[in-house]
Amino acid sequence: MTTLSIFNQNQPEQPQTVTEDAGEIQRLLADKGIRFEQWPTRDLPEDVTQETILDAYEAEVAALKRECGFQTADVISLNPDNPQKDALRQKFLDEHVHSEDEVRFFVRGQGLFYLHLDDQVFAVLCQKNDLISVPDGTRHWFDMGPEPRFTCIRLFSNPEGWVANFTGEDIASRLPRYEKLAGAA
């Protein structure tokens, strides 16, 4: 189940707020300028190709491209048997920003987005059906967990794809990781 945990950055041991109500999650994130939606998903086999996934969500992706000016879309998929899973997890675990919105739609599985907004950190455990759009310049990081299992459609304004500028702050190391927050969901 999708969960939002809100932490004070100076007291990261326990969240101040936890909710599993999708409408409340959407409202709380919208108040901070974060787009969150739940789309209907298609029943697709686990070994489906990127092209089939993009074809299945063609209308939704095209609408987002028109609305937000995205140029490209692709699919990222990761399973626990991937030999690079630890390196890939580590790549996204440090706080960073982008010069474009980071948009992910979860076709399968789950992952945890941390959004560092003012003096709070919003940890959004995204699940199948969830779309999250992190605005450009928003400090954030992503934790896929030690045994990742997810498939996401990604949209980009920059045809080069994912380009991060790391902040150098250690905030990500002070918050509970995926293992604790996803286990509580």
Its domain, for residue 66, covers 3-177+180-184
| Domain tally, the chain | 1
Tell me how far CA of residue 13 lies from CA of 35, 122, 182, in angstroms: 26, 13, 15
User: For the residues 61-80, what does the mean pLDDT come to?
Assistant: 94
Give the strand pairing for 17-19 and 165-166: unpaired
Q: What is the mean pLDDT of residues 3-21?
A: 93
Say whether 140 counts as a known binding-site residue: yes
CA distances from 60 to 2, 65, 71, 95, 102 (A): 21, 9, 14, 29, 16
In degrees rounded to 5, what are phi and psi of residue 27? Answer: -65, -50
The pLDDT value given to residue 18: 92
Average pLDDT over residues 140-159: 92
Q: Is the pLDDT confidence value at 132 over 60?
A: yes
Say what the pLDDT of residue 99 is: 87
Give 11's DSSP letter: B
d(CA 61, CA 67): 10
Whole-number pLDDT of residue 162: 66
What is the rounded CA–CA span in Å between residue 72 and residue 82? 25
The pTM is what? Answer: 0.93
- Is 116 labelled a binding residue? no
Residue 41 predicted with pLDDT over 90: no
As a whole number, mean pLDDT of residues 146-154 equals 95
Going by pLDDT thresholds of 50, 70 and 90, the confidence category of residue 185 is very low
Averaged pLDDT, 75-91: 94
Q: Which residue has the tokens 């948009």?
A: 103
CATH number at residue 134: 2.60.120.10
- Model confidence at 105: pLDDT above 80: yes
